Structure 1
């Protein structure tokens, strides 16, 4: 059984993210992509446009001194342009480490990611880590 194209797209995105390959990531997103980050910390909010989203990812790497990594567990699709991923996020920042479950809800149009809605297993822990 072959993998659905939307699931394959999400897996390529995780692979590029893990390698820090911003060019590959850029090619997977529309110019007007939006990444919604939950919480009340400095990186939370709505990051609108490909460059703003890529800058968010650069900030993640910078803020964690390159210690950030994501382990992808599952990708689910609905066959109508939506995919959900489930992962564990690992990082160190300042004097604190974090290992936390999370997920992303993707909207895919024309084979490109147009919207990413992020969820976390512990919003308070995320807020404290990024504060």
Structure 2
């Protein structure tokens, strides 16, 4: 039995993201996709539209001088258009570092990502890392 298509999509997206391949990531998202980033920091908010999501990702890579890594640990799906990815986020930004578990809850429609809800292990550390 093979991997469910929703899990495979998320796995491919996480791999592309980790490699900084935002062109591939963009092909996996709908034009109106939204990425919800938690907390009260410079990255927080509801990034609405594929272009806004890609701008967020570019900013994250720039702010961490390319040190940001997302190591995928597992992907789970419900077979009804939802998938969860658990990863380890590691990055450096100025004199700060971050190393924590994070997760994304994906909504998938027609084989494309329409919504990403991000969760983090330690919201205070996440806020401190990204600053305001």
Partner of residue 40, structure 1: 40
RMSD after superposition: 0.5
In 1, Cα distance between equivalents of 2:90 and 2:19 = 15
In 2, Cα distance between equivalents of 1:13 and 1:76 = 14
Aligned residues: 131
Partner of residue 21, structure 1: 21
Query: Match of 1:80, SS?
Result: coil
In 2, Cα distance between equivalents of 1:108 and 1:78 = 11
In 1, Cα distance between equivalents of 2:130 and 2:21 = 23
Q: C-alpha displacement at 1:18, in angstroms?
A: 1.0
Aligned residue runs from structure 1 range 108-127, under 5 A: 108-127=108-127
Q: Which stretches in structure 1 are left out of the alignment for 5+ residues?
A: none
Q: C-alpha displacement at 1:54, in angstroms?
A: 0.3
Moved over 3 A (4+): none
TM-score, length of structure 1 as denominator length:
0.99
Partner of residue 76, structure 1: 76
Query: Match of 1:101, SS?
Result: strand
Query: Match of 1:125, SS?
Result: helix
Q: Deviations over 1:34-90 (max 9, x none)?
A: 000000001100000000000000011000010000100010000000000100000
Q: C-alpha displacement at 1:107, in angstroms?
A: 0.1
TM-score, length of structure 2 as denominator length:
0.98
Query: Match of 2:70, SS?
Result: strand
Q: C-alpha displacement at 1:23, in angstroms?
A: 1.1
